[in-house]
Structure 1
Amino acid sequence: MDFNFKEEQLQFADALRRWIDKDYGFEVRKRVVHSATGVSDDAWNTLTELGMLALPVPEAQGGFDGSAVDMLVVMQELGRGLVVEPYFATVWGARFLALAGNQHRLLEDVAKGELKLACALGEKQSRHDLADIKTIAGINGEGYRIDGTKTVAIHGGQADALIVSARSAGAQRDANGISLFVVRTDTPGVTVRDYRTIDGLRAATVQFSHVAVPASALLSKLGGGCEMLDEAADYGTALLCAEALGVMDALFAATLEYMKTRKQFGTPIGSFQAVQHRMADMYIHLEQARSMAMLAAARMSCGDIEERRRVVSAAKVRIGHAAKFIGQQSVQLHGGMGVTDELPAAHHFKRLTTIEATLGDVDHHLERFIAQRGFGQHS
């Protein structure tokens, strides 16, 4: 497999990195995190101008029809810069719209930066099982009525519209009977409670009380949204793996620089053999994670559902282990400063910890990987 990026992909990455270095440094990020909304309109406008919102949108709706590999380059840079804008939430939501194939106007608005999305899929009892759904969708005249509560909707409070999973048939954990809808946040009956998460981003609890939506809000066939949900969740997981890679890149580089400047007994601690061994182990974890993140992105378009599931789960497991190891080692090598808000390393570790728990943690994806057909069989 060719792991070299195309010239266009490198240009996207370079433009994004230059903007982050110049206008979205650590101090700017801290001000955004502690602002009333937790996001920056200026940053969002810049991401739009750079073409980042149009990148994953199909060409027919004014986008660049970017692949998961194209998105890997972008997410890696956003991770490296610890960007807290609602980019991931929006492009993940746009994936649902693209898979639905009937939401052209909304996709055009996403490409133009005029529509922010969020995915309201998880519930209090569901943990990592997105098919564990108590939210109910019933037929209401020519449309539908949604009732239920969704939790930890990333950037749900900043979204103009939500991708919502609801059960229209079957038991609570059945794969069949899941329907997906796009719901405007200003729809009567929608209540959004916004809060800041430990990594500086925003999330929300969203309550739906007798929420009436038109028939056009249905993204999947009624009761037939499981396959779309599964594919979009894998896409979101691949993007998170790419972001984690960028975070680890930045954390490793910061730790390496600190090892060169921090002195003990008049000597840089990076000259000590024990420290060098730690840095070597961190580098091995980083490169293994890089390979798996790239493989997951490449396999998103392979057309083989089982292969996609297998590789995405393997990537989430490997990157989860790498994130924990690199994060813990970096904090220890920085000493007490490694856990203070004044040092970027602490924020890198918090973001890595949150990513590991988003869309399935290591244990969840290890079980999913083992459950794939053919695991453990020998020819």
Structure 2
Amino acid sequence: MTDSGTGSALRSLISPARYIQGRGALSELGPRVATIGSAPLILADDVVRELTEPTITSSFERAGLPVSFERFGGLPTRREIGRVAGVISDQEADVVIGLGGGTAIDTAKAAGDDAGIRWVSAPTVASTDAPTSALSVIYTEEGAFESYRFYSRNPDLVLIDTQLVANAPVGFLIAGIGDALATWIEARAVGQSNAENMAGGVATRAGTALARLSWDILWEFAFPAIEAVRGSLVTPAVEAVVEANTLLSGLGFESGGLAAAHAVHDGLTAVEETHGLAHGQKVNIGSITQLILEGRPTAEVREFIEFTARVGLPTTLTEAGLGEAGDDVLKTVVRATMAPEETIHNLPFAVTEAELLDALKAVERLGRSVRAGSGLPEPKAPERR
């Protein structure tokens, strides 16, 4: 995924056609969708549907649109995408709405692409930067990362109701912070290597700046936003973090580029021990791994570990379910991370499997050291779901 080094690659920035965020925004979904299509299909799981159906029904009735929900199966697998695409065709829908978290949204994008219709992202949590992007993360039936799937366009609309975000369990927001913090770490590395971004070009200054802005907002507003969401409150800090997690991280990762942090995430999905973790939790392990691989200044790495530990993100292999893992398990992670198509190769230097294995092991030792030195409790293994 790297540039030829000639300096002739085109610079590229991509984005959704429209982004809308704020308290009560879901009530505007119908009128906004009416400008895109007349026969929408809404993909959502049962919990999300129960939370949102009254508001969506009222909004769609006001816009003169029919209301049609389809139950989401849980993961963006090839089978689930094909099934939803079939429903779209059977119902003759002309726009599909991914309502819920990143997996529902990624499935809606893929199914909409297969069916040849337009798509809308309506996240109910701020847990990933999937809503704005022109790609889906595809998983196997077992829950392991399979591939990225790219599209020729981004969603026509991204609409996020911050009251829904504030009403959701705070763990979703925390996971989104972990995903978003990686944006600048990776965009910085991609900029140094002049590698391709996810849009197939070299990052623009705007794309890189948006990645950095996401980082700056999170360091300033993460803690007050988390406390507000614990009380289901929408405050300026919550609005700022939702924008950082969703819009700025989305534009920043796609137009800035990915490197080792997300590649390590993908590698972690290859072992069953990590399947109970959210996307952003695994990404945070990847971010620490990348900082170690880069040889970043000790103070910078320790500050990042302490900050993310206090946010509530895993900073050790123990918290990722790998505290007792032997080399055979970690080598499975390493091999998946180092796959030829993975974004770890966007780093401005080559990484060997042995170096990556040592960096992963160093995450555990350094994470424990920082926690002990900062007065934080010892890490605990995640509860099995």
TM-score, structure 2 length as denominator? 0.24
Computing the radius of gyration from Cα coordinates, the structure with the larger value is 1
> Whose relative contact order is higher, 1 or 2, with alpha carbons under 8 Å and at least 6 apart?
2
TM-score, structure 1 length as denominator? 0.24
